[in-house]
Structure 1
Amino acid sequence: MQRSSRLRLTAAALSTVVAVVGTACSSGSGSTDAKGADSGTYTIWDPYPQFDKASAWTKLLDKCGTEAGVKIKRTGFDTSDLSNKALLAAQQDNSADVLIVDNPVVSTLAEAGVLTTTDDNKLDTSKVDPNLLAAGQSGGKTYGTPIGANTLALYYNKKVLKDAGVDIASVKDWTSLTAALEKVKKAGKKGITFSAIGTEEGSFQFLPWFWGAGAKLTELGSAQAVSALTLWTDWLKKGYAPNSVINNTQTTSWQEFAGGDYAFAENGTWQLANAEKVGFDYGILPIPASGGGNAAAPTGGEFVTIPVQGDTGRYATSQKLATCLTSTQNLYDTDTTLSYVAPTSEVQDKQVASNPALKPWVDAVKAAKGRTSDDLGTKYPKISEQMWKAVQSALSGAASPKDALTTAQSAVK
């Protein structure tokens, strides 16, 4: 396998990475140490700085190293810091041997020439759900394999719904969801909270409704897109959702829901531990599409990738490490630790057998979609920025949903 074409690492590539990372991932800091001097030491960079040397994650990395006959030098970075470090290390031909990176960044690193393809590195992706694998594909090539996925769904407060006379089984589409919100408001409680902040988080939370209307990211001004934004603006006008959503992050919207007065909250698998602490019975419902069924929600989660190396002799061992990390048993153990849904049906079935409460999340992940899917690659950040600006404009009353999205589409072009 030959080194790919000269790395095209530009300021634009760096800004693209900063724009798309961090929506649904952990944070912290890490060192910048690269490969050990010993050829028997392999470096792994990941976005899990919260895990120390005694953690199950670090022990798994060491176990995979032992099985491959090498020592592991692991560094955990903040998600955005990791992506930028990966670009800079590639410039210096000093990349990590294995790089675990947030899925929207894969196409950016791939287009910059940082990553090897699965055709070259021989990673087996045959068992991975195609909708999840798509986030790591660009230009018809695949650049890694997912280690796990998370996505969005609706948490609901069972008592609030019961007191309002709402049967959750009746909530199957936008019409029935809105009818439920109306009943909740009439009962003196609050409807739904979400994050519509003017950042990637806002786009991330709007996408299930956008895709659930049948809209496409290449056509922001379509009638389907307008219907999705109209849904949100109508909720605010009728008092079914609070004005605070305009500034809400996913964390602050969760805090609103945790107060116990809201019927619904749009949030992700990463809130499962917090959900056990809210002090009331809750349930989880996949976000409904406009006409029924499950809407596609955007996927969070990371890909295991193998960066381009000047010393091509390192690839064989890197492939062993990546294969070990994504084996059936290791995926099960890792995704349980990370609160992720596994990327393969085989492991998803094991997760649900062990914890039936994960079934709605597995359903949501099966319907989910990568933000850079449809071969959008590095076009996505620009589209997303115009999307969240349109959402902000419409929710604030500065423009109608149609005018806001028409302006957004013009800006993208």
Structure 2
Amino acid sequence: MNSTSRRRRLTAAALTALAVAAGATACGSGSDGGSNTADSGTYTIWDPYPQFDKSSAWAKLLDSCGTEAGVKVKRTAFDTSDLSNKALLAAQQDNSADVLIVDNPVVSTLAEAGVLTTTDDNKLDTSKVDPNLLAAGQTGGKTYGTPIGANTLALYYNKDVLKKAGVDVASIKDWASLTAALAKVDKAGKKGITFSAIGTEEGSFQFLPWFWGSGAQLTRLDSAEGVSALALWSDWLKKGYAPNSVINNTQTTSWQEFASGDYAFAENGTWQLANAKKAGFEYGVLPIPGAKGGNAAAPTGGEFVTLPVQSDTGRYATSQKLVACLTNTDHLYDTDTTLSYVAPTNEVQAKQVAANAELKPWVDAVKAARGRTSDDLGTKYPKISEQMWKAVQSALSGSKSPKDAMAAAQSAVK
């Protein structure tokens, strides 16, 4: 595809993102340049891991994959929020990176903007990837890239708080038994559960396990099931089982509340495992229960490795070798351990659990997880998510009932 046709395919939403891209700055090694067709021996990789410098295991893996493919790798690291805008701008300028690693909800935006190649075109092998994880990179019946790893949400619990309240964690199997446990904790003089309900994507991310766990679908925010999920959270606040601070909590501040040792439960992710070990009390992890039992589907976090469209299509073969190297069994294990991710394949997941039994509930949670843009929602998801978090804010603040809040949200989406 030539640069002229690509410019025509960039959508209005993509062009809006381009308008704010000019002020974005890159972090890490390398420069802002994309692929350089004049230098066939150098391939560019953009990633969202500025925390890893040139001496890190991640950077060394990229270099070794380049060596294996017979090329030099030029890496640039961006903050996650900057990366998608930079990728869209580079596509507009026909200067895309050869390999692009992006947050999974961004894949559909880039794909619909004509920035990414499909796995049919680039020959990436996704046959071993768990279908529920791969779905986050699918839109319009096509797959764009492969996940490098996944994280998701579950319930951390304080074993001492539950013991003193007389709660057996094995009894928590659905919403009713969880609420009953919170009532016991409250009666024992401790605090129940903390989470993030802030009016941003973080709030939607944390609400989704309860929304999906009710049986609701994102295309019908105002369904009886969806309303019941919001009513659950609202009732917890009214009864004092959850603090009013959740309305402004990020996932970080919510974790800080749990780390105080006063709370029985906290909804949070795999990225807090290191902090959990430093908390000073015994903890456990429980998959978020569905309304009537079983594990609720939590949203998947984590990145996809993708191959952007190039004017020089001859570059795809080497780019595919680089991605195959990054995502093979041995390298996935090392990379996902570094990133605190659950691997996207059964084989590597089993290897992770064998090395660290504490990852078992997280593997279970990831297996039940769903991509936010799955069900072919694609670029519709951001609008749905915005109305969802607004509904959560309205209900938890008491300005609207859960039913009215979700009705308003559904109306705004339409």
Question: Shorter-chain TM-score: what band?
Answer: over 0.9
Aligned to 1:309: 310
Aligned to 1:253: 254
Q: Which runs of 5+ in 1 are unaligned?
A: 20-26
Q: Write the deviation string for residues 15-40 of structure 1: whole angstroms up to 9, x where unpaired.
A: 57999xxxxxxx98345233455220
Aligned to 1:345: 346
How many residues align structurally?
406
Aligned residue identity for 2:328: S
Q: Write the deviation string for residues 93-143 of structure 1: whole angstroms up to 9, x where unpaired.
A: 100000000000000000000000000000000000000000000000000
1:33-182 alignment runs, 5 A limit:
33-35=33-35, 38-182=39-183
Residue 4 of structure 1, CA deviation? 10
Residue 338 of structure 1, CA deviation? 0.3
**Structure 1 stretch displaced more, 2-11 or 220-229:** 2-11
CA distance in 2, matches of 1:348, 1:16: 36
**8 Å contact kept, 1:16–1:378:** no
**8 Å contact kept, 2:17–2:88:** no
Residue 183 of structure 1, CA deviation? 0.3
Q: Write the deviation string for residues 136-182 of structure 1: whole angstroms up to 9, x where unpaired.
A: 00000000000000000000000000000000000110000000000
Q: Percent identity?
A: 84
**8 Å contact kept, 1:157–1:280:** yes
CA distance in 2, matches of 1:230, 1:194: 15
CA distance in 2, matches of 1:80, 1:369: 22
CA distance in 2, matches of 1:5, 1:138: 20
Residue 314 of structure 1, CA deviation? 0.5
Aligned residue identity for 1:159: D
CA distance in 2, matches of 1:331, 1:2: 34
**8 Å contact kept, 1:16–1:108:** no
Per the alignment, in what secondary structure is the counterpart of residue 214 of structure 1? coil
Per the alignment, in what secondary structure is the counterpart of residue 66 of structure 1? helix
Q: Write the deviation string for residues 181-224 of structure 1: whole angstroms up to 9, x where unpaired.
A: 00000000000000000000000000000000000000000000
Matched, 1:29 2:27: yes
Q: What TM-score, normalized by structure 1, do the two folds share?
A: 0.96
**8 Å contact kept, 1:17–1:80:** no
CA distance in 2, matches of 1:62, 1:168: 46
Aligned to 1:23: none
Q: What TM-score, normalized by structure 2, do the two folds share?
A: 0.95
Residue 2 of structure 1, CA deviation? 7.9
Q: Write the deviation string for residues 351-403 of structure 1: whole angstroms up to 9, x where unpaired.
A: 00010100000000000000000000000000000000000000000000000
CA distance in 2, matches of 1:28, 1:75: 7
Per the alignment, in what secondary structure is the counterpart of residue 387 of structure 1? helix
Residue 13 of structure 1, CA deviation? 2.2
CA distance in 2, matches of 1:143, 1:67: 24
Residue 14 of structure 1, CA deviation? 5.5
Distance 1:111 1:177, change over 3 A: same
Aligned residue identity for 1:134: A
